[in-house]
Structure 1
Amino acid sequence: MRYTPLCLFCILAATLVLIVIYLKHKKHFGTSKRKLPPGEMGLPWIGQTMEFYRAQQKNSLFDDFVQPRIAKHGKIFTTHLMGSPTVIVNGANANRFLLSNEFKLVISSWPSASVQLMGKDSIMEKQGERHRCLRGLIGSSLGQAGLETLVPKICNLMKLHLDTKWKGQDEISLYHATKVLTFSIVFECLLGINVKADMLGTFERVLEGVFAAPINFPGSRFWRAKKARKEIEKILVKVVREKKKHMEESKKEEEEQGGMLEVVDNVVLLVFAAHDTTSFAIAMTFKMLAQHPYCHSFLLKEHAEIMRSKKPGDQNLTLDDTKNMKYTWQVARESMRLFPPIFGSFRKAIVDIEYEGFTIPQGWKVLWTTYGTHYNSEYFEDPSSFNPSRFEEHVPPYAFLAFGGGPRVCAGYQLAKLNILIFMHFIVTRYDWFLLYPDEPISMDPLPFPSYGMPIKITPKLF
């Protein structure tokens, strides 16, 4: 019997389909022999993604998505998100196990849009030794000597901002003001790069697409973000080239270009990590102080004491001054516990993981959440109440995760801390203030932010 080419093609295609079905069945059969965490996968491919997104948009991911599944399945459960089977873990022990085994059992797993916009040469995409090397370079600029140099620079920039943007005003959008400041601090104080007109707006467009669907169609959010990323890249590459002119060491053109792209990618990531998250942390700290006047008055005494230790006319702070802001940092940490700047983050299993009697198969995603410990009475008594003094006591490792944990703990943690403490000092010592919308809701897009920008009424203090 002779077969036509079309017939042969159909036979071949049918054979391939059967092979694929067999391999998938075999893989599923092999997985089914292991004890997977309990849970529900939802619809094919879509899984429970829509429920996840709806809860995220309402800023109720923990209450509406995670907590009901913990109640039904326990602290570790299976779901299906964004095309991947996903295990969600909760609790300090799970956080420690997962985050301390970075590069050994799991690796960071960011969405495709995030990788494209932050850059494949950023530290978030580096693994193992290269990650440690890049982290060491970032950490060296934020060591003791680097921080001592940074503090007066941040102070001067903040005083300039208050003198030019706040003076003569009676109402300020606190969230927007802190975004402008944190952006300027990263560029001018840390990197020595002058902020050019509309750089902030361009960066904002990049950040808007970080968690968008990676659809590069004209007019889409991701398309706008990619376009803004190219604009930022042009600006930063020019700045890096100018700085390299002052270096005596010469390099080959391709090495120079590769090095510049790595710098650009990590600057974009640094702005992303420090920008919205620090601004949100400051806004929530002010919200908590407004709702708890006793804490505000206690915090004010701490800063009045620092001012009394200064010589007349000396308004600048030192690194030691920030170390003496112990209660202020307790207030900030408690605010971040109640209102985490990040919900958590995804990892991908690079081997089969045995944990708590369950198997997390290689290739599956794993999601840890801040809320899974921040609102757990096992670690924080009466977790829904605002109580800064709880941070006077020992907090169990991996229970407070506002800055993540393990090898990928936020590299800019010390910079964020300085921004928060120094900003708090200048505002509470210079202004009386109150919230215009005490019950302002929190929105998500995709990171949390005060829906109205946290407007505050300000009145200069008389000295």
Structure 2
Amino acid sequence: MLSFLAAILLIITIAFVLRSNKRSKNVPPGEMGLPWIGETMAFYRAQSKNRLFEDFVEPRVAKYGKIFKTNLMGSPTVVVNGAEANRFFLSNEFKLVVSSWPSSSVQLMGEECIMQKEGEKHRCVRGLIASALSTSSLEVMMPKLCNTIQVYLDTKWVDCDTVGLFRSAKVLTFTIVFECLLGIIVEPRVLTTFERVLEGVFAPPFRLPGTRFSRAKKARLEIETMLREVVREKRRKIEGKLEEEEQCGSLLSRMVRAMIGGEISEMEVVDNIVLLVFAAHDTTSFAIAMTFKMLSQHTNCYSLLLQEHADIVRSKGPGQNLTMEDIKKMKYTWQVARESIRLFPPIFGSFRKAISDIEYESFLIPKGWKVLWTTYGTHYGEEYFGDPLSFKPSRFEEPVSQYVYVPFGGGPRACAGYQLAKLNILIFIHSVVTRYDWSLVHPDEPIIMDPLPVPYHGMPIKISPKSEICPNVHQM
């Protein structure tokens, strides 16, 4: 009997060894580093200098190829680069991989938000967001969006000779998400509270007093308390048929109606508001800042862009707002913005987790391993964009594959707020360039990570009102 058990044990051991050897031979090349720590410190050092691609990814690509293994934050991770890799992993969301964010990000964004959802729950929430951001919904939103930017410039930039461009863009995009998209009026201090939450999204998830994560959790609780009351007040108005007609189409109204119908919970409404605010306002404000940075360095491009906006202003009557037709005329401006975002993507990439063993490019990615795809893997690739480090808006005169140009992701988790971000960027640029002459205070201002990329000085610009070029813009 003992010899029989020993034989069975020997067979199991041999099978395990053979399977382990097969896996170790087929996984991508690379270094795993120390247990748990792996190459995390090198990753964080590169991230803190906003040089993740140059200092962390590129040297390993040169050594191992476009697919390599590493160990980040305690997880074996495969880093992939290139359009085909983006297509494979982003389009196979829910089938082969699922979204996988650090614990600190999940706790601060909320465990009930859409980035944590799969299947029917994901489709339900995404459908609500998509309906609030449809072409018809955005067209209805346009006058309010234009007015929000107009009022801000009239009140905050008046009589100023120097303003913080990045800060202005942050305040405006934050206000637009809350007031134009969600229909929530917020006090200025709420932005400061949100920023305290953001500080901890990539910090180690330790609740020790005084740590970034601890401060972020406290701020998150303040926001959650405020939003719960907003959601409950909205529910009272809807159930009492007291909701104002203009608020019926807001995203908050749509989510609360779904909550009343039992499709989503109150916590899902709160968590998704938090996520949407972060996803929209930080990335959009950075895109705006980088567009102005590139325009300041390429005066020929700025001349072409300015002419496009002058033509739009001259075609409008006094007091007329921008329309969707005007947005369609901003073709060159959008090329400039897209090229700026290509060179300075607001997000480096994102993590996925393999939910089964994955065979890709003759390699095996074991179940449970993380996968990190990167924007820079294609944005800076010579085979995708010739002379990739040069600023050439004309690249976007023709369509570019979504899996080559990926600042908004791709697949089922592609950014649902893409069109709102586009409107925000284009209307802000129009409002500034048609009203002001401007110049950067620090033309070569460095970009740092805090924890997302930001201009080191906040991108201050000198401004002076224009005199003649766009006479109707003050009444837009």
- TM-score normalized with structure 1 length: 0.92
Q: How many residues align?
A: 441
Instruction: Provide the secondary structure at the position in 1 that maps to 2:352.
Output: strand
Kept in 2, the 8 Å contact 1:435–1:455? The answer is: yes
Question: Cα distance, 1:258 vs. partner?
Answer: 6.9
Alignment of 1:258-297 (within 5 A): 259-297=265-303
**Correspondence 1:178 to 2:183:** no
Aligned AA for 1:95?
N
Distance 1:254 1:24, change over 3 A: farther
Kept in 2, the 8 Å contact 1:109–1:347? The answer is: yes
Aligned AA for 2:467?
L
Deviations 1:34-86 (A, max 9, x none): 31111111112111111111111111111111011111111111111110110
Deviations 1:409-433 (A, max 9, x none): 1111111111100000000000000
Q: Give the Cα–Cα distance (whole angstroms) in 1 for the partners of residues 317 and 14 of structure 2.
A: 76
Kept in 2, the 8 Å contact 1:110–1:346? The answer is: yes
Q: Give the Cα–Cα distance (whole angstroms) in 2 for the partners of residues 241 and 255 of structure 1.
A: 14
Question: Cα distance, 1:452 vs. partner?
Answer: 0.4
In structure 1, what is the equivalent of residue 200 of structure 2?
209
Distance 1:436 1:412, change over 3 A: same
Aligned AA for 1:33?
K
Question: RMSD across aligned C-alpha pairs, in angstroms?
Answer: 2.1
Distance 1:91 1:409, change over 3 A: same
In structure 1, what is the equivalent of residue 219 of structure 2?
228
Alignment of 1:227-266 (within 5 A): 227-248=218-239, 259-266=265-272
Deviations 1:95-145 (A, max 9, x none): 000000000000000010111111111000001221111111100001011
Kept in 2, the 8 Å contact 1:75–1:89? The answer is: yes
Q: Give the Cα–Cα distance (whole angstroms) in 1 for the partners of residues 261 and 217 of structure 2.
A: 24
Kept in 1, the 8 Å contact 2:402–2:410? The answer is: no
In structure 2, what is the equivalent of residue 326 of structure 1?
331
Q: Give the Cα–Cα distance (whole angstroms) in 2 for the partners of residues 370 and 243 of structure 1.
A: 39
Kept in 2, the 8 Å contact 1:158–1:423? The answer is: yes
Higher mean alpha-carbon deviation, 421-430 vs 215-224, is at 215-224
In structure 2, what is the equivalent of residue 156 of structure 1?
147
Q: Give the Cα–Cα distance (whole angstroms) in 1 for the partners of residues 106 and 14 of structure 2.
A: 32
Instruction: Provide the secondary structure at the position in 2 that maps to 1:132.
Output: helix
**Correspondence 1:410 to 2:415:** yes
Instruction: Provide the secondary structure at the position in 2 that maps to 1:245.
Output: helix
Instruction: Provide the secondary structure at the position in 2 that maps to 1:359.
Output: strand
Q: Give the Cα–Cα distance (whole angstroms) in 1 for the partners of residues 145 and 188 of structure 2.
A: 20
Kept in 1, the 8 Å contact 2:354–2:371? The answer is: yes
Q: Give the Cα–Cα distance (whole angstroms) in 2 for the partners of residues 212 and 139 of structure 1.
A: 31
**Correspondence 1:372 to 2:377:** yes
Deviations 1:168-215 (A, max 9, x none): 000011001110001100111111110124101111111111111110
Q: Give the Cα–Cα distance (whole angstroms) in 2 for the partners of residues 272 and 386 of structure 1.
A: 28
Instruction: Provide the secondary structure at the position in 2 that maps to 1:261.
Output: helix
**Correspondence 1:311 to 2:317:** yes
Kept in 2, the 8 Å contact 1:379–1:395? The answer is: no
In structure 2, what is the equivalent of residue 12 of structure 1?
none
Question: Cα distance, 1:300 vs. partner?
Answer: 0.6
Aligned AA for 1:445?
D
Match for residue 359 of structure 1 among 339, 364, 372 = 364
Distance 1:291 1:146, change over 3 A: same
Deviations 1:281-301 (A, max 9, x none): 000000000000010010011
Aligned AA for 1:320?
E
Match for residue 420 of structure 1 among 409, 422, 425 = 425
Distance 1:418 1:101, change over 3 A: same
In structure 1, what is the equivalent of residue 307 of structure 2?
301
In structure 1, what is the equivalent of residue 4 of structure 2?
none
Q: Give the Cα–Cα distance (whole angstroms) in 1 for the partners of residues 260 and 298 of structure 2.
A: 57
Alignment of 1:98-117 (within 5 A): 98-117=89-108
Higher mean alpha-carbon deviation, 238-247 vs 293-302, is at 238-247
Question: Cα distance, 1:394 vs. partner?
Answer: 2.9
In structure 1, what is the equivalent of residue 473 of structure 2?
none
Kept in 1, the 8 Å contact 2:351–2:370? The answer is: yes
**Correspondence 1:139 to 2:145:** no
Aligned AA for 2:22?
K
Distance 1:25 1:167, change over 3 A: farther
Question: Cα distance, 1:25 vs. partner?
Answer: 10
Kept in 2, the 8 Å contact 1:39–1:73? The answer is: yes
Kept in 1, the 8 Å contact 2:346–2:453? The answer is: yes
**Correspondence 1:120 to 2:125:** no
Instruction: Provide the secondary structure at the position in 2 that maps to 1:386.
Output: coil
Q: Give the Cα–Cα distance (whole angstroms) in 1 for the partners of residues 17 and 270 of structure 2.
A: 43
Deviations 1:254-290 (A, max 9, x none): 9989722111100100011012111110000000000
In structure 1, what is the equivalent of residue 244 of structure 2?
none
Instruction: Provide the secondary structure at the position in 2 that maps to 1:379.
Output: coil
Percent identity over the alignment is: 68
Kept in 2, the 8 Å contact 1:75–1:91? The answer is: yes
Aligned AA for 1:168?
D
Alignment of 1:52-71 (within 5 A): 52-71=43-62
Q: Give the Cα–Cα distance (whole angstroms) in 2 for the partners of residues 27 and 120 of structure 1.
A: 36
Kept in 1, the 8 Å contact 2:306–2:433? The answer is: yes
Instruction: Provide the secondary structure at the position in 1 that maps to 2:282.
Output: helix
Kept in 1, the 8 Å contact 2:113–2:272? The answer is: yes
Instruction: Provide the secondary structure at the position in 2 that maps to 1:215.
Output: coil
Distance 1:387 1:254, change over 3 A: closer
**Correspondence 1:30 to 2:30:** no
Kept in 2, the 8 Å contact 1:31–1:361? The answer is: no
Instruction: Provide the secondary structure at the position in 2 that maps to 1:246.
Output: helix
Question: Cα distance, 1:384 vs. partner?
Answer: 0.5
Gaps in structure 1 of 5+ consecutive residues: 1-18
Q: Give the Cα–Cα distance (whole angstroms) in 1 for the partners of residues 206 and 72 of structure 2.
A: 18
Distance 1:246 1:384, change over 3 A: same
In structure 1, what is the equivalent of residue 471 of structure 2?
none
Q: Give the Cα–Cα distance (whole angstroms) in 2 for the partners of residues 125 and 53 of structure 1.
A: 24
Aligned AA for 1:422?
I
